[in-house]
Amino acid sequence: MTPAVVSALYVYPIKSCGAVALESARLLPHGLDGDRRYMLARPDGTFISQRTHPELARVRSSLTEERIGAAVPGRPPLDLPRQLDGGSRISATIWADTVPAVLHPEGSIWFSELLDEEISLLYLQDDDLRKVNPKYAAPGDRVAFADAYPLLLTSESSLDELNRGIEEPVPMNRFRPNVVVRGWPPYAEDALVGLTIGGVELAMPKLCDRCVVTTTDQETGARGPEPLRALAQTRRWDQKVWFGANLIPHGTGMLSVGQAVVSEAPG
């Protein structure tokens, strides 16, 4: 497979809110440090996302060593601790998983006012990290509030190929990746077994099936038909459409833009 390099790194401190682009990031067994440790939920603890609340795309995120920020035009910004050690705990449900999470009262009020409904802002502590789907993972594999896997990888050339069939090309942020690579042929990630970045081995358990979030403009929250329409024409099998690859780290280290990506393919 053609040599590749990391061209971008992203974390999403609050699930379904804006991305933070990084030049380097610490890779932990459950994903990039700071990625999706906060999540929004209904009062019963059931998570919400851009699937039902596309306006969350308008929430700009920021990240420092100790703080997380959230902001939208016309409202006072929200300031959160990067790590929340104490507070009331409730049961949080994301897909088939139910885990204890810590309620952030001020953040809950901020998002309730933004969305005009009762919302809970929840934080996932280290001891409560979720198990990754055992069908595709080892018993010790863990994930925070990402949908299913610790990391999502996409390829620039794959997006270029997809955009050839779209009248108004979509940007990479529609796919909300953690790691973007440059230098592979289009859809070379389909053949991955695993890869190594920064000395850390990563398994590729499965490709990523895509949902309506990809049709959401990540600046405005507006929705359109693409890229799901184009994916349905070129990347549809098993009654789903596919773009990008899920990854599970087997170790820890530092990932940086410009690092080489050493790929492992079948055979």
pLDDT for the residue numbered 18: 98
Peptide bond connecting 227 to the previous residue in cis, omega within 30 degrees of 0: yes
pLDDT of residue 3: 78
Over residues 41-72, the pLDDT tens digits come to 999 999 999 999 999 999 999 999 999 999 99
Which residues in the chain come in under a pLDDT of 70? Answer: 1-2, 266-267
pLDDT of 264:
80
Separation between Cα atoms, residue 151 and residue 121, nearest integer Å? 22
Give me the pLDDT at residue 1, please.
52
CATH code for the structural domain at 4-264: 2.40.33.20
pLDDT at 267: 52
HEC states along the chain? CCCEEEEEEEECCECCCCCEEECEEEEECCEECCCCCEEEECCCCEECCCCCCHHHHHCEEEECCCEEEEECCCCCCEEEECCCCCCCEEEEEECCEEEEEEECHHHHHHHHHHHCCCCEEEECCHHHCEECCCCCCCCCCEECCCCCCCEEEEEHHHHHHHHCCCCCCCCHHHHCCCEEEECCCCCHHHHCCEEEECCEEEECCCEEECCHHHHECCCCCCECCCCHHHHHHHCEECCEEEEEEEEEEECCEEEECCCEEEEECCC
At residue 37, the pLDDT reads 98
